[in-house]
């Protein structure tokens, strides 16, 4: 892509390291609702290869700790963070979001982007986030939720079959968040934005070819069919990308 690997900035990697529908635009939108300030400590739940964490550090000067279960993702996240010279603000820990081993009441904010679909125990993850957040801290979620009862068509980017897919409804997120000690302050359905973003990316790839840095590097050869399935299900009203903003009470 003509980038110098020794002079990368956080945004240069956005076509590959923002591993969710809506890419960097979606991360920006989430950040804009999170009442951020320089120096705040943020937990990134399921940080992947670290695009959102680097964005929060580079654009908002926050200190971010990313936790992820996948060792290889953590290693790539650390390497890209060194390359983009953000390792003084961002760290990654290989651990489960259900039991991070991080100290209680450490973080001012937390966010979770496209992770809940892979976690059956939503109550467990919400309780763990509540434990490590300071009282009054804000928790932002951007996940794909179930909008209707029609069965999901696999593969999707988070699962090749229903055995590893745990997509539930907005009502279920609300209940589990409230039980875990959060008050849900706001919810925003992002289906129209996500459809438009995905259709634009597909049209661009058809016209100009796939960029060298893109999500096929993370999703493999089935990336086009996974993306096509999610797009079709968002259009049919089977799935909906939703932002939720909750406050630790
Ligand atoms: C689709 S990726 C999203 C990555 C990142 N949030 C982003 O938006 O770029 C989902 C991530 O969740 C992680 N994950 C899944 N289950 C997890 C768990 N129980 N604890 C921590 N991470 C988990 C996966 O390893 C993967 O990196």
Residue 142 has pLDDT above 90, yes or no: yes
Split at pLDDT 50, 70, 90, the class of 9 is very high
Distance 146 CA to ligand 1 centre (A): 19
Number of domains in the chain: 1
Torsional sign, CA 216, 222, 227, 228: positive
- Residue 185's CB is within 10 A of a number of other CB atoms, namely 12
Q: Is 135 within the bounds of a domain?
A: yes
Residue 1 falls inside a structural domain:
no
Mutate which of 16, 53, 68, 190 for ligand 1? The one with the most ligand atoms within 8 Å of its CB, which is: 68
Q: Specify the pLDDT at position 5.
A: 86
Q: Does residue 100 lie within any of the structural domains?
A: yes
The percentage of the chain sitting over the pLDDT mark of 90, rounded to a whole number, equals 91
CATH of the domain at 128: 3.40.50.150
Residue 4 lies in a domain: no
Average pLDDT over the chain reads: 96
Name every protein residue with a CB atom under 6 angstroms from any ligand 1 atom.
18-20, 46-48, 51-52, 67-70, 73, 96-98, 113-115, 118-119, 158
2 located within any domain? no
Provide the strand spans (E) within the chain: 41-45, 63-68, 90-94, 107-113, 133-146, 182-189, 239-248
Give per-residue pLDDT as tens, 175-225: 999 999 999 999 999 999 999 999 999 999 899 988 888 888 999 989 999
CA 207 / ligand 1 centre spacing (Å)? 31
pTM for this model (two decimals): 0.97
The answer to whether residue 91 is domain-embedded is yes
Give the Å distance between the CA of 117 and the centre of ligand 1: 9
* Residue 204 DSSP SS3: helix
Range of the domain at 203: 10-248
Q: Distance between CA atoms of 125 and 131, rounded to whole angstroms?
A: 10
pLDDT at 239: 98
pLDDT confidence of residue 194: 98
Is 148's pLDDT higher than 90?
A: no
Q: How far apart are the first and last CA of the chain?
A: 46
Q: Which pLDDT belongs to residue 1?
A: 83
Question: Quick one: three-class SS letters along 78-127?
Answer: HHHHHHCCCCCCEEEEECECCECCCCCCCEEEEEEECCHHHCCCHHHHHH
Listed range (61-75, 162-176, 205-219, 221-235) with the worst mean pLDDT: 205-219
Using CA atoms, how far apart are residues 227 and 235, in angstroms rounded to an integer? Answer: 12
């Amino acid at each position: 892509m003509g980038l110098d690997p020794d002079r990368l900035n956080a945004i240069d990697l956005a076509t590959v390291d923002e591993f969710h529908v809506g890419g960097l635009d979606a991360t920006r939108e989430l950040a804009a609702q999170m009442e951020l300030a320089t120096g705040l400590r943020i937990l990134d739940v399921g940080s992947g290869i670290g695009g959102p964490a680097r964005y929060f550090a580079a654009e908002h000067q926050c200190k971010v700790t990313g936790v992820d279960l996948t060792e290889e993702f953590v290693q790539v996240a650390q390497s890209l963070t060194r390359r983009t010279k953000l390792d003084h603000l961002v760290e990654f820990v290989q651990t489960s979001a259900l039991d991070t081993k991080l100290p209680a009441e450490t973080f001012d904010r937390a966010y979770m982007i496209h992770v809940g679909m892979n976690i059956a125990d939503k109550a467990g993850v919400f309780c763990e986030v509540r434990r490590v957040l300071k009282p009054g801290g804000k928790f932002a979620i951007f996940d794909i939720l179930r909008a209707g009862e029609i069965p999901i068509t696999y593969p999707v980017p988070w699962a090749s079959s229903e055995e590893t897919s745990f997509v539930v409804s907005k009502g279920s997120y609300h209940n589990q968040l409230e039980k875990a000690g959060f008050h849900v302050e706001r919810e925003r359905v992002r289906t129209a934005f996500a459809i438009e973003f995905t259709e634009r990316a597909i049209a661009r790839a058809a016209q100009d070819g796939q960029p060298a840095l893109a999500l096929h590097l993370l999703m493999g050869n089935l990336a086009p069919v996974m993306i096509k399935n999610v797009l079709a299900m968002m259009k049919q009203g089977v799935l909906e990308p939703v932002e939720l903003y909750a406050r630790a009470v």
